[in-house]
Each structure stands twice: as structure tokens, then as C-alpha cells.
Structure 1
Amino acid sequence: MSNPEYSEDYDDEHRLPLRPPGERKESHPDSFFASQVEHQIFNESLMKWAAELFDAGPVTSTADALDRLKKIQRMHSGLEAVTSTLLADTVEQIGEGFTDTLAELREKAPEEVRESERSAEFYRVDPSDDRTINSNFVAEAAIALRETPEMVSKRMFNAKGLRYVCKDTLLALAAGEITAKSAHYIVKYSQDLTEEQIKVMEHVLLPLARTASDATVYQRARRLHDRMNPESAEQRQKKSEAARKVSFWFDEDSGMGTIKLFHRADVIKSIQSTIRWGVGQNNDPDDERTSDQMTADLYADALINGWPGSSGTPLKPRLSITIPALEMLADPSRALADLEGVGPIPAGLALQLAKDAPSFQRVLTDPWTGAVIDVERKNYRPSQGLKDLLRHRDVHCCFPGCRRSADRSEMDHIDDWGHGGATDRENMHLLCKQHQMFKHALGWKIHARPDGTRSWLTPNGLHVIVTPESVDVVENLDHMNDHCPQRPDTSSRLEVLMNEDTRRVLGYPVEPEPSIDPD
């Protein structure tokens, strides 16, 4: 049986029977009466539930608490319906009004528009293209919702499916009759179906979704989709094969991570059999590892060093680990290091990784905020030193919500070099290719603040502050005034003396002990 929590997510709005942009009339009520009716449908129930909760007073019994929880669940559903409608309608209206908006900008700021058009030509992007408009708006909506662009992109798929395809499901969601997850499953399994088949699916599933659990709706929707899907099993297999990929994610607390390979079943079976055979070759009686541990170790060794008897992979990736020397000296048991591209890991694990490292690069961090402020430049050209500094200071792309790693990002001037911007640490940051295009061609603006943060202004006027990832303490940052962070009172802080051990950990030369004259 499939598990909805672990199923692969390959949702694509192009697999829904959507009309082309500009023909989705649901986003443009053609009369004042129609728009007011819709406003009441999507908002009146929310006002009623909120008022009932506000006026209810203290909880008087278990039954009273359960009744309020039901109202809260209905509010969650109603809010999801309103959010979906806003997302779908807004991106549709932006696309339809793009020409008029561009004409207004040409009149107000002709030089700025010309420069953006030159950048768009350089990046080979069409700002009027539906996909470009969609991704640009998703990035702005992510700021408004305090979510990642990836999460809002999934919301947008769901929003368009509810607004334009599964309309009865949207109404049931707005009324609080079904949950947001059940609504998502109905939209998800409407992919690759015709409009008539989707109506049948809603007719069958909505009565069930009003009382059943989300897991039950998921299983019924999946089975119903498989029965109605007009594609042959072979066609579905080819489409799934085209979606093969490797996924990575990291555990936030344990210093561990996961790799997931989505591939043909026969390939997965072959890998499984090969690894099990390799584990079976281990006859060491002193090996105390479990079968699962040996399987994991063999898989990792094969990917990094190659199978036994092979020459291994020619690629030996560089791991960058920042170990806070002062924290290590003050309390080694509580210190956390930082593994580039992963995040915090126990200091003990970091020292174990560093033990076999062929070389070290010292990274100087601010003891109050944790921000990287300098990187050892020994044996490096200055440009490489600056690149290393940005890699440790910013850690990933500095666009709001983007976490593409430093290895997948590039150095970018905040104030353009062509307009006099300097190539220094104050005016440089990391941006991935996509968000360089957003900055230069789609109207996003950025300003470097004296406290080290970056202020982004979206095309539609939202402000958001981005703090370098290496900064741990933000309480003394000042986003508004023109000065650097104020240092906190250090009288009550733990002090670490600059003794021999401190100098050795920081990489400073250890002063020789004074010689004693026997006379």
C-alpha cells in the first residue's frame, strides 16, 4: 500500500486540463454582483467562525474544547481556499495586465526598463512568458507567506487546480467541509484525466471527504485515478521513467542525511542485490556493525571510493568545516561546528572529519554574532580569497528563501560593477543563476546595509531583510540606522584567556617558554 507521506511528488499543472492563460474567466468576475457573491462565499464563513471563537470565552469542558478544535479545522480549510483563490487570480491578472504595466514603467523609468530588457536578452528570458511571470510571482508570494518558493510553487499547482479544474472541491474547502489535504489529493489525482472524469472523481470523493480521514481520501483518489486514467500502463511507465532523480536532505539535529534514488524497479532491485552481496562478503568476526549499518557503509563507500578492487571516483569533493575555536575551549561538550551545505553538526564529529583532512583553511568569525568576517588567504590569489570569504559568510544564495549551496551560486555585485560598484566584501554576495536573472531582468532590487544584512525590494514593493547565514546572533543588528551592530555588554560573558592552548587552536604561533639560566 502506498504511503502519502513518502510518495514521490511530481505534480505539474500542465498535466491538468487547464485553459490557456488569458482564458481563465474565473479570475475575472464579469459583474459587481458576481464578485460580491464570491467574496461572501470565501470570507463570510471565516468571519463567523472567528467571531464564535473570540466570543466563546474560557474553555468549560472537554466537549467545548473539541467543538472549538472543529471550528479551527474549518478555519484552516477556509483560509486555504482563500489563499488558493488569491494565488491563482493574482498570477492570472499579472499576465493579462503585463503589457499595460510595462507601458507605465517605460513612461516612468525608461532607462531602467531598457537596462532590464538588455539583461533579459543576456539571460535569454522573456519577462512576458507565463512561466516567468509565475516563478516571479511565486518568489514574491513566498516572502508574503514566510515560506520557501518551492513550497509556494506547490501551493500554486494546488491553487490553479482548485480554481479552474476542481471547482466543487474549492467550494467544499471554503465551507470548511473538507480538509486542505483531502482537497490536495483530489487535485493531485486529477492529473492526466479529462474534465468529465474529474467531475466523476469529485462526485465520488467529496461525500467521502466530508467525514473520512485524509489517508482514506488519498487511497480512494489514487485507485480511482488508476481506473480512469486513459493512458496505458506502458505510457505511464515511460512518463515515470522520465521523472527519475536523486534527492538529498539533511537531518537538523543529528548530523546525518539521506539520499533517495527514484528509478526503474529493476535498477533498484539490481542495486539492492549488489549491496546485499557486498555485505555478505564481510566475514570479519570482530565487526560489530549491524546488517543495516554495513549496508549503509558499503553504499557510501561505493559512491565515494568505488567498489573494492576499482580505482574509485576521480571526484574527491572538498568538505568545508567551520569549528568555533572559542566555544570548543569554553565547553567542548556543547560546541557545534558547521558543515558547509548541511548546517550544524556535533563538534566531535567535525573534529573526526577534520582529523584526516589534507589541509586546513582558517575562517575568522565574529565572536558576538558568529558571522564570518575573514578567511585565510595564504596560497590564494585575492579573488579566490574573496570567493572563499563569501562561501563561508553567505553559505548559500542570498536571494530571499533560496538555499542553493555556495557551490551552485556565483559572486554577484550588489551595486553593479558597470555603475561603479566595488569588488569587495561589502558589495559582493552569492546568487544562483536563476536569481541573478531575477535581480537584473525582472525588477528585484537589493541594498547592502551597514549591519551586514541585505534589504531586498520586490517588483511589487515588498521589503525583506536577508541576514548572512553565518550570523548566529541577530539581537544587536540594526536594520534601519546607518551604523554597525552595537556590541553587547560583555561583563557577564564567559572569558577565554589567550593562553598556549587558545593560541594553538586558533592557529597562532605558540610562544616558546623562556629559558632558565642555571646560574
Structure 2
Amino acid sequence: MDLALCAQRLPASLAALAAGRLTLAKLRVLIDHLGPLDEAPAAEVESAVLPRAESQTPGGLGVSLARAVLAVDPAAAERRGEAAVRERTVTLSPERDGMAGIYALLPAEEALRVYQALTNTANALVRDHVTPDAPAAADDAGHDDGGEVDGRTLDQRRADVLVDLVLDAPMAQHRARTRCSGHDTPAPGRPRWGSAPTTVHVTVAWTTLAGLDRQPAHLAGYGAITAETARDLAADATWRRILTDPKSGTVLDVGTTTYAPPAAMARHVRTRDGTCRFPGCRQPARRCDLDHVDPFPTGPTAVGNLAAQCRTHHRIKTFGGWTVSPRPDGTLTWTSPTRHSHDTAPPELPTPSFAIDRAWPRAA
């Protein structure tokens, strides 16, 4: 979509750009998401997301747009999703200095599981001090010496695990031969390649699960997904109830008098936040610390005073001169040492459709 077409299809966005309320980077995000839509749904999505766009980062605006695009025409979104799945592929890209890149285009939930499996196995190597590119050592009694301490970064381990898993090299390297049977058996303490459990977290309204509406669900680590995809994932899943405000979708508060949040509260906060709450950071909340916005014990251990922060941005808040102010709706205002302020809001979670009040059968 060029600027002339943008002026015709997205006049409010172009006006916001001219007035300085919208950056060129955000306009590009709007064009990328709304370009494939017909004129009427594009205008509807534009009017829905534009009021918040000024305070959002380009990444945050993209998250809002993805959800709004799915919500405005669920049937069309599912058709686009079916077409997109047919485009799945793996490609090879030569890089400099003897390197090459492998790119896989997959359905989001499958890509997340693959990435999590690589991460889980890479982390298991460190826990068990395994060096996957060297054979497991054993003494004459058959005892494993535990392997070498791994000095690689997580990214390096993930890359090596991917190669080993695809080429099946470690199945020979990481098996200890038992003297009594002569058969290969897994060495004690070695990770079973590809067997680390993987999970994906989906937040979906119960009315959507019941087939009463088709509003988008939220896939943690990715963003909005169609109702059909959410129902497929929920068919073989463990469910946990999350209570949200019926109007705003804000996760309702629970509290405790201890410093460390209980497991249920921690899940609650990570589900609400989705990612690190620092402006522009997309680190998944499941890998983040839970920070007391108002430090404990002055600030309570409660959903409204906890925020997911990756370790880097947690340290920036604690030691780097940044301050954070919460609002009742879950928005955090981050103020830098130079006194510039940036707002971040948790993603809008799915809430039950209220058309159900008219459609749900009532007892006589």
C-alpha cells in the first residue's frame, strides 16, 4: 500500500502522522497489517487501534493490530490462516564467514514447541554438564564422569542441539553400552534428545471454546490466534481458570502477605503480561522475573503490584535510575533517568461474549 492508497484507505492514520501523533515506523506497521484487508474492515480496525497507537511501541501496536484483524472478520482470518499453512517451508540462506541460515516457516504453535524443545534440551545440557559434541566418557566400572562443564551460550547450545537432533548424531554419542547385555542404553544423567516436555499457553474465552463466538485467543509468546486454532489446541490440554474483568479484560487481583508470589499468582501475572513489561521488550513472561513495582514490603505481593520483567530490565529498574508507576488498568509508566516517559499495557485477554445473555437457554 503506497502513500496515495494509504490516504484513501487509512486517512485517519495519515492525519495522525501529519500531526506528529504517529511515527513513520508505526504507519508502516498499520499498512503491513491492514493492507490485505478490504476497505470496510481496514477502516474498522484502524478506528479501534489508533487511539492507543500514540502511546504504544511499533511492536505493541503490531500485537494490537493482529488481534483486531482477527476479531473484525473471524471467517476471513481463518481462510487466510488455512492459506498460510500451505505456505510452510524450510529454506537455506548462505551467510558470510562460512555460515548459513536455516529458516522454517511453521504454524505458530508448532514453531513455539520446536523452539521450546531446543531450549529445554539446551538447558538440560548445562544442568547435567553435558558436552554434546564429545562422546560420553565412562571409567572401567561403567560410571559416567558427568561430562565437561559447558561454556557455550544458550544460543550456541540451541544451534548445536538443532544440528544434533536433525542429524541424529547424539543418539550414538550419548549412549552408554551396558556390559551385561551388550545393548546401548541411555547414559545416566544424560538428556533424552527431543523428549523434554514442551507446552504452549493459550488464553481463550470459555464462550469461544463452547463455539458461541469466534473471538481471537492469545497464544503466549506469539500473540493473537483464531478461535478455530485455539479450540484445536484446547482439545488436548490442561485448563486453568483465569478471572478477568468483563468490560476491560483486565486480570482481577489476588494478594498475599509474603514476598514470593504463590504459583497460582505467578501464573496469573505471567498470563496477564505475556512479555516483559519494559517498553519494546518481547521476552516471554515465562522467562521473566516477577518484580514488585512498589518494592516489598511497602508494596504488597499482589497481582496489581507485580510485573514481568526480564533480568536485564529488572536490573535497569532496580539499579539504572528508571522508575515505574502502575495504573489501575494494568498500564505501567516507565520514566527514564532523562525524565522521558513510556507507557506499556498488558495485552487484551479474551473475555466471554455478552451476546450469550440473549442466546443462552434459561430454565423455565
TM-score, structure 1 as length reference: 0.33
Task: Please say which structure displays the higher CA radius of gyration.
Answer: 1
The structure that is strand-richer by fraction is: 2
